[in-house]
Amino acid sequence: MIRHVDSDLNSLKDLLLTMGGQVEKSLSRLDDSLADSDMKSLQEVHEFEADINRLHLEVDESCLVLLAKQAPFASDLRLVQSVVKINTDLERMGDLIVNVASSAERYLRFTVRVLPPQWGQMMEEVRWMVSNSLNAFVKLDPALSKQVLKHDDIVDCHNTDLTGVFKERMKSQSIEIDAGVEALAMVKCLERLADHSTNIAEEVIFIVTGDDIRHGRRQSV
Amino acid sequence: MIRHVDSDLNSLKDLLLTMGGQVEKSLSRLDDSLADSDMKSLQEVHEFEADINRLHLEVDESCLVLLAKQAPFASDLRLVQSVVKINTDLERMGDLIVNVASSAERYLRFTVRVLPPQWGQMMEEVRWMVSNSLNAFVKLDPALSKQVLKHDDIVDCHNTDLTGVFKERMKSQSIEIDAGVEALAMVKCLERLADHSTNIAEEVIFIVTGDDIRHGRRQSV
């Protein structure tokens, strides 16, 4: 027998995943644009924002309706509460991707220097984390979530590395201060994207197991 | 007659406000430390983090228990869903304050230059916004929330202004690149603190009126 609550929960998950798909597409467009230093394509990244914002409002409203109509409990209730939080993460990820695009537009006005190879490596890791945090949510897979959490350490290393590269370039005056400041903002946004992916992964673990591992609690679970 | 749900909602609000109080204390300690360039006092800012993180988990758990036990509806349900979101904002605000303290510790190692007067002005605005977004939540006051939203424009101006000041100082080599990068990170964190205050203010409007004004929707309300 299919419960009404199952049908509503599946619709809610689908809506959240539509939003996640838009975040992934936006990030993919950003990555391609930066690989080609393509200003026109970079501007297209902004076009995803309106859709992500619309879905942000729609997901929150759907959660409220589901809670009022179905009064879910146990893992169903955890799922809805986690969707409210993942929704906030995805909306912020959409903003961060737009922020990288805006900084990149200014960066490319200040310097002809292409981004260093470490940028591509960091972007690849972040895209993997974003994609697999969403996969973990689709499959409600705590093991994949734990993989996502581990990858955050790799992103943190790239962050430290790239921050050092751009500071050195500013010190040696091989790029202008304005360009360096924009590049550092871009790196910071990528690092934040990875952080939001870890938030999603932590929520998946909570939905499935009921264990809240945030702030280092029950990390061994 | 006092409903059980009222008693539980009041306890939840009190818990969230305890967390808000810790965020305010942490920001006050940061402000005082920076005004005195006091390294020892700066380190004390980190001491609030554990308490804020503990309350973060506790608030989320209380929301889940309240939803399961009481199945609230209408404005009571909106309140609980908004508390889930405000809780995320407050936790992030705690992190941002710690990030400013960490950057400030490095800044003060790189340069003896005091922060420019615009820093104090921006900090004062941000403290006003943090404090009054929480007051708006206590009183469930949409008019005060709208005042908070207006102040965000002032913070954005200070952000642009201060970013320009530190970039100029780096260009003229009156501070080192390392110091300038830390100062810019501090300014960015303050701007993000103001953004989280606007999130709280928007949630208060939603709790009271049911109008979701985020992403420019129904701004005239």
Q: How many CA atoms lie within 13 A of B9 on its CB side?
A: 20
Chain A contact present for B88, CB below 8 A? yes
Res B193: pLDDT = 98
pLDDT surpassing 80 at residue A19: yes
Nearest to A79 by CA among A93, A95, A59, A94: A59
- Residue B220 DSSP label: T
pLDDT in tens, A32-45: 999 988 889 999 99
Burial of A7 (0-12, 13-18, 19+ CB in 10 A): exposed
Res A220: pLDDT = 42
pLDDT in tens, A73-115: 999 999 999 999 999 999 999 999 999 999 999 999 988 778 9
Alpha-carbon distance A83 to A76, whole Å?
Answer: 11
pLDDT in tens, A120-158: 999 999 999 999 999 999 999 999 999 999 999 999 999
Per-residue H/E/C for chain A: CCCHHHHHHHHHHHHHHHHHHHHHHHHHHHHHHHHCCCHHHHHHCCHHHHHHHHHHHHHHHHHHHHHHHHCCCHHHHHHHHHHHHHHHHHHHHHHHHHHHHHHHHHHHHHCCCCCCHHHHHHHHHHHHHHHHHHHHHHHCCHHHHHHHHHHHHHHHHHHHHHHHHHHHHHHCCCCCHHHHHHHHHHHHHHHHHHHHHHHHHHHHHHHHHCCCCHHHCCCCC
Chain A residue with minimum CA distance to B76: A68
* Binary contact (A215, B53; C-beta < 8 A): yes
Whole-angstrom CA distances from A65 to A61, A68, A203, B175, B214 are 6, 5, 21, 54, 18
* Domain spans of chain A, in order of start: 4-216
* Binary contact (A81, B67; C-beta < 8 A): yes
Chain B contact present for A78, CB below 8 A? yes
Res B220: pLDDT = 43
- B4 CB neighbour count, 10 Å cutoff: 9
pLDDT surpassing 70 at residue A30: yes
* Binary contact (A212, B78; C-beta < 8 A): no
Q: What is the ipTM of this complex?
A: 0.95
Chain A contact present for B57, CB below 8 A? yes
Res B1: pLDDT = 66
Q: How far is A96 from chain B (nearest CA, A)?
A: 12
Q: What are phi and psi of B57, to 5 degrees?
A: -65, -40
* Binary contact (A212, B60; C-beta < 8 A): yes
Which tokens hold the place of B158? 């200070």
Res B51: pLDDT = 97
Whole-angstrom CA distances from A166 to A27, B41, B128, B166 are 22, 31, 35, 17
Which residue ranges in chain B fall short of pLDDT 50? 220-221
Nearest to A123 by CA among A142, A151, A95, A146: A151
Size of interface A-B (CB pairs under 8 A): 77
Q: What are phi and psi of B124, to 5 degrees?
A: -60, -45
* Binary contact (A167, B178; C-beta < 8 A): yes
Nearest to B142 by CA among B202, B99, B74, B77: B202
Burial of B216 (0-12, 13-18, 19+ CB in 10 A): exposed
Q: How far is B158 from chain A (nearest CA, A)?
A: 18
Chain A contact set for B203 (CB, 8 A) = none
Q: How far is A144 from chain B (nearest CA, A)?
A: 23
pLDDT surpassing 60 at residue A167: yes
Residue A60 near residue B212, CB atoms below 8 Å: yes
**Is residue A218 very low, low, confident or very high in pLDDT (cuts 50, 70, 90)?**
low
Q: What are phi and psi of B141, to 5 degrees?
A: -115, 100
**CATH code assigned to B4-216:** 1.20.58.220
Chain B contact set for A69 (CB, 8 A) = none
pLDDT in tens, B13-50: 999 999 999 999 999 999 999 998 888 999 999 999 99
Residue A43 near residue A10, CB atoms below 8 Å: no
Res A1: pLDDT = 65
Res B221: pLDDT = 35
Which tokens hold the place of B128? 């006003």
Residue B9 near residue B66, CB atoms below 8 Å: yes
pLDDT surpassing 80 at residue A217: no
- On average, the pLDDT of chain A sits at 95
Res B112: pLDDT = 75
